[in-house]
């Protein structure tokens, strides 16, 4: 069995160039592959639910949204224990286990859609199992954060997250095509297509990944992180960025089909939102490395507000081009905000901890906490869409609530990280890349 790497000094330039960079990049690449599959399985129901009626499963709008909400909720809850799993088992072993677990929801989905009369509760259970894919993000991000030096962490975490987020786009691009192979709609293919890749990811993680001893946070690090107000501030902001991205990713195909019936063929292009948003995530980390995470995040929330107004206008005008374009803008901005907010976490905790090791351990803990709470934001997004469509038959109430929330995120970013008095009382924040 491969031993843990005992000596790891990414901040040492000589160590990084001679040895560290190669090992870090290898683990990053394998982490991206496994995490990408996690996201692919996590959002699988977002495409499957659109076609359930075509194979004889006629669920109401409310029931369909619960099939979208449940995997989001389970994935959010699992992100906390998944973060703790990395220090307990090591990045290599846990990536192996978490990748292998993805076979469970795929098997359940294949059974559900090929068995006539499968009850709704089994579809809900299948959706819950898909939430296993949502937990992978936090363990992957916490693990990779230890491999890279501070100055390169923003781009590395952005690439890791973007590689995972791209799983959403891949699912929404490939599955609509795969399920139409042959005669009629074959929803079992939506599950079976991922199984060989899951087996490969599991094998690659076991045979080629590494674990770091310094990625073993002590209980004290978690206690300090939990008691630090910035943990909860950043978690709140991450609801606005990642919560938007994953919430919109789950809902976008259904929103097109429900709100613009004449344009339901465009569901096949829903993947563009997740694709462009995923690509934008590393750009957010890169910008944060250079001009400060808080500035990028502030600009992101301003843009998200404008984009939301665009969607509201499109609904009132019944303009699908404006609707689609505005949603694409929301995905891009959410992606940039994902990168910038995650870059702020290690920068902030570098100013809070007594030493570098403690700062990294606290930041790793916050990555898991913020990841879980941020993913829960996706649940809220889909809940407001559900209640809005069921109650008023329009998206306007939901979009109004989302717009108010972005305004709160904007004010929070300014208050804690950009107003002048912050730097008077905590000047180190000004030099931490925040």
Least confident range from 136-140, 203-207, 414-418, 428-432: namely 428-432
Q: Is residue 6 part of a domain?
A: no
CA 142/CA 145 separation, integer angstroms: 5
For residue 415, being part of any structural domain is answered with: yes
* Strand partners of residue 212: 5
Distance from C-alpha of 416 to C-alpha of 234, rounded to nearest angstrom: 10
23 C-beta neighbours (distance < 10 Å), count: 17
Write phi, then psi, for 187 (nearest 5 degrees).
Answer: -65, -20
Question: Structural domain tally of the chain?
Answer: 1
2 is a domain residue: no
Across the chain, how many H-helices and E-strands are there? 19, 0
Q: Picking from 68-82, 138-152, 169-183, 417-431, which range would have the lowest pLDDT averaged per residue?
A: 417-431
In this predicted model, what pLDDT tens digit does every residue of 81-118 receive, in sequence order? Answer: 887 888 888 899 999 999 999 999 999 999 999 998 99
In a domain, 422, yes or no: yes
Question: Is 275 in contact with 413 (CB distance < 8 Å)?
Answer: no
Provide the domain limits for residue 202.
Answer: 13-431
5 - beta bridge partners? Answer: 212
Whether residue 90 is contained in a domain is answered as yes
Considering only CA atoms, which of 421, 422, 434, 430 is closest in space to residue 345?
A: 434
Is 4 part of a structural domain of the chain?
no
Range 192-215 average pLDDT:
93
> The domain that contains 420 carries what CATH number?
1.20.1250.20
d(C-alpha 122, C-alpha 111), whole Å: 10
On whether residue 7 sits in a domain, the answer given is no
Percent pLDDT > 90 in the chain is 60
pLDDT for residue 430: 47
pLDDT digits (tens, 9 = 90+) for 326-373: 999 999 999 999 889 988 888 888 777 667 777 777 887 787 788 889
pLDDT at residue number 432: 45
Confirm whether 163 is domain-assigned: yes
Under the banding of pLDDT at 50, 70 and 90, the label for residue 146 is confident
Confidence check: pLDDT of 12 > 70: yes
Alpha-helical segments (H) within 118-215: 120-130, 132-145, 150-178, 188-192, 195-208
């Amino acid at each position: 069995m491969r031993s843990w790497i005992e000596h790891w000094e990414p901040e040492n330039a000589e160590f990084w160039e001679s040895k560290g960079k190669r090992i870090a990049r290898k683990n990053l690449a394998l982490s991206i592959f496994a995490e990408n599959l996690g996201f692919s399985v996590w959002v699988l129901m977002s495409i499957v639910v659109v076609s359930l009626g075509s194979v004889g499963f006629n669920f109401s709008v409310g029931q369909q949204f619960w099939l979208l909400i449940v995997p989001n909720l389970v994935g959010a809850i699992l992100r906390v224990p998944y973060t703790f799993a990395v220090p307990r088992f090591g990045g290599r072993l846990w990536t192996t286990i978490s990748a292998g677990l993805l076979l469970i929801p795929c098997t359940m989905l294949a059974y559900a859609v090929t068995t006539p009369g499968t009850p709704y509760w089994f579809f809900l259970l299948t959706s819950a199992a898909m939430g296993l894919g949502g937990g992978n993000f936090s363990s992957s991000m916490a693990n990779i954060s230890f491999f890279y030096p501070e100055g390169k962490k923003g781009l590395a975490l952005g690439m890791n997250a973007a590689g995972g987020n791209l799983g959403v786009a891949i699912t929404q691009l490939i599955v609509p095509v795969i399920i139409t192979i042959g005669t009629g709609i074959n929803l079992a293919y939506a599950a079976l297509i991922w199984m060989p890749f899951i087996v490969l990811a599991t094998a690659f993680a076991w045979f080629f990944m590494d674990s770091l001893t310094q990625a073993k946070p002590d209980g004290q690090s978690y206690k300090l992180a939990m008691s630090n107000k910035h943990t909860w501030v950043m978690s709140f902001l991450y609801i606005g960025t990642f919560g938007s991205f994953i919430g919109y990713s789950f809902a976008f195909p259904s929103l097109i089909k429900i709100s613009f019936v004449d344009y339901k063929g465009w569901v096949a292009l829903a993947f563009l939102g997740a694709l462009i948003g995923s690509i934008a995530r590393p750009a957010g980390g890169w910008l944060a490395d250079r001009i400060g995470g808080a500035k990028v995040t502030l600009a992101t929330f301003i843009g998200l507000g404008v984009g939301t107004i665009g969607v509201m206008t499109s609904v009132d005008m019944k303009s699908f081009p404006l609707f689609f374009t505005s949603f694409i803008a929301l995905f891009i901005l959410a992606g940039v905000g994902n990168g910038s907010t995650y870059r702020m976490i290690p920068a902030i905790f570098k100013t809070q901890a007594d030493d570098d090791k403690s700062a990294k351990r606290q930041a790793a803990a916050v990555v898991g906490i913020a990841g879980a709470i941020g993913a829960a934001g996706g649940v809220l997004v889909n809940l407001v869409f559900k209640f809005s469509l069921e109650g008023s038959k329009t998206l306007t109430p939901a979009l109004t609530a989302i717009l108010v929330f972005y305004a709160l995120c904007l004010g929070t970013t300014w208050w804690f990280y950009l107003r002048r008095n912050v730097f008077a009382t905590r000047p180190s924040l000004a030099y931490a890349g925040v």
